[in-house]
Structure 1
């Protein structure tokens, strides 16, 4: 019987089961610029639609074959008992953002817009309506009013 360098090769299937990990809910005051993967329970304080933007196709692009639909965008003020932040709702998300509603944002991210923080949920995240929360939104701690400045550190 000849042996090779790989005498013991595992030929079975692994019977490990993957379990979902519990989401870690964060508060608004814990959000920092450039971070992702946040799960929050927040109340909608205000929702203001922004002028619809229609994308125009350039000749010779693949967008010529598809009719362009205007994007619906709304700037919403969301918050919890620790603070509030502006949220950019896009398309179907706009319908969920009604003042007074309580929503859960899963896998949300912080975008920077003109030096200020904005909360957003892209295609990898999810927004769910939930039962009304018992907390009052702390509107005097608006994280979107804090202006950040990008500093490049060069070693000289």
Structure 2
């Protein structure tokens, strides 16, 4: 006989396609080496450091890297934007 906890785990395992609600954090709450955060910040400066196109094949996308100074009302950080992440 399955326990209530096992039944809940079995029922919950089928809902993996269900998206979680985003949890917004402030810039001063970020820790080095972490990822997957959702934040609202303003881009203060943006400098493209690498922009390289591929001429060998048209269906491969262009590589673009930019260093952006972003911040909110708590702090500012240097964010490395890749491809479509940057302004």
TM-score tier (shorter): 0.5 to 0.7
Name the TM-score, length of structure 1 as normaliser: 0.38
Within the alignment, does 1:81 sit opposite 2:73 as a pair?
yes
Unmatched 5+ residue regions in structure 1? 1-13, 56-65, 98-156
Within the alignment, does 1:28 sit opposite 2:27 as a pair?
yes
Query: Between Structure 1 and Structure 2, which shows a larger proportion of strand residues?
Result: 1
Q: Deviations over 1:94-149 (max 9, x none)?
A: 3xx2xxxxxxxxxxxxxxxxxxxxxxxxxxxxxxxxxxxxxxxxxxxxxxxxxxxx
The answer as to whether partners of 2:50 and 2:63 remain within 8 angstroms in 1 is no
Q: Give the aligned CA root-mean-square deviation in angstroms.
A: 2.7
Matched pairs, number: 72
Please state how far the C-alpha of 1:35 moved relative to its aligned partner: 1.0
Please state how far the C-alpha of 1:21 moved relative to its aligned partner: 3.1
Query: Between Structure 1 and Structure 2, which shows a larger proportion of helix residues?
Result: 2
Aligned structure 1 segments of 4 or more residues deviating by more than 6 angstroms: 14-17
Higher Cα radius of gyration:
1
Name the TM-score, length of structure 2 as normaliser: 0.63
Please state how far the C-alpha of 1:20 moved relative to its aligned partner: 3.8
Please state how far the C-alpha of 1:52 moved relative to its aligned partner: 2.5
Unmatched 5+ residue regions in structure 2? 1-9
